């Protein structure tokens, strides 16, 4: 009995050394549209994010944060006018969440609406599709980065360029 108890205790102790499971957060499309860019632009230069364009033009209703589950969001508005075809690098409207691992998940280029404010929510609307920042047309730019180094593994094997996605479709998972 004593040997069995020792072995059981040893087995329990070894479980304490196992890393705890990390909960992955599913990311869905911020609005219906076509994936127009992924890791590389058509030119071959590095992009490191997902671009989704509705094809409905500027101010398509309802850009959502996309992350499933209650998450706190910081909304930064750099332009309050409707911008559809760019207003310069660094002038993009942004919604972001900084994770415990130091990575930042962000969506850029939307136009400001009454829904453009900081809050905690599950896939909340933050604006309408726009073209703020350095763009050639309205779309949503979705990226996950650490100190400016974009991570592309979160969406690898989940979506492809040219694919039509709706709000229910998974674009990837954040660890």
pLDDT at 172 > cutoff 70 = yes
Q: Where do the domains of the chain lie, and which CATH numbers do they carry?
A: 21-174 (2.70.70)
Please, which contacts does 20-26 make with residues 24 or more away whose CB atoms are closer than 8 Å?
22/175, 24/173, 24/174, 24/175, 25/67, 25/68, 25/69, 25/71, 25/173, 25/174, 26/67, 26/68, 26/69, 26/170, 26/173
pLDDT at 12 > cutoff 60 = no
**Inter-residue contact 122 to 68 (CB < 8 Å):** yes
Backbone phi, psi, residue 16, to 5°: -65, -20
Reduce the DSSP state of residue 53 to 3 states and report it: strand
Q: What is the pLDDT of residues 142-157, one digit of tens each?
A: 999 999 899 999 999 9
Average the pLDDT over 1-15 and give the result.
42
Average the pLDDT over 55-79 and give the result.
94
Average the pLDDT over 5-24 and give the result.
47
Average the pLDDT over 125-132 and give the result.
97
Q: Which residue has the higher pLDDT, 175 or 170?
A: 170
Q: What is the pLDDT of residues 100-117, one digit of tens each?
A: 999 999 999 999 999 999
């Amino acid at each position: 009995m004593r040997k069995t108890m020792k072995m059981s205790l040893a087995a329990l102790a070894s479980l304490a050394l196992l890393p705890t499971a990390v909960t992955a957060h599913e990311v869905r499309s911020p609005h219906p549209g076509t994936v127009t860019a992924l890791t590389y632009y058509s030119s071959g230069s590095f992009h490191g994010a997902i671009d989704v364009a509705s094809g409905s033009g500027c101010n398509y209703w309802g850009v959502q944060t996309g992350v499933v589950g209650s998450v706190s969001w910081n909304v930064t508005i750099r332009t309050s006018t409707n911008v559809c075809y760019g207003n310069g690098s660094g002038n993009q409207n942004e919604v972001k969440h900084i994770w415990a691992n130091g990575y930042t998940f962000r969506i850029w280029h939307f136009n400001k609406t009454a829904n453009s404010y900081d809050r905690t929510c599950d896939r909340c609307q933050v604006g309408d599709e726009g073209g703020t920042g350095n763009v050639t047309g309205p779309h949503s730019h979705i990226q996950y980065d650490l100190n400016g180094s974009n991570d592309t593994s979160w969406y690898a094997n989940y979506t492809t360029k040219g694919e039509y996605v709706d709000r229910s479709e998974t674009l990837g998972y954040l660890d």
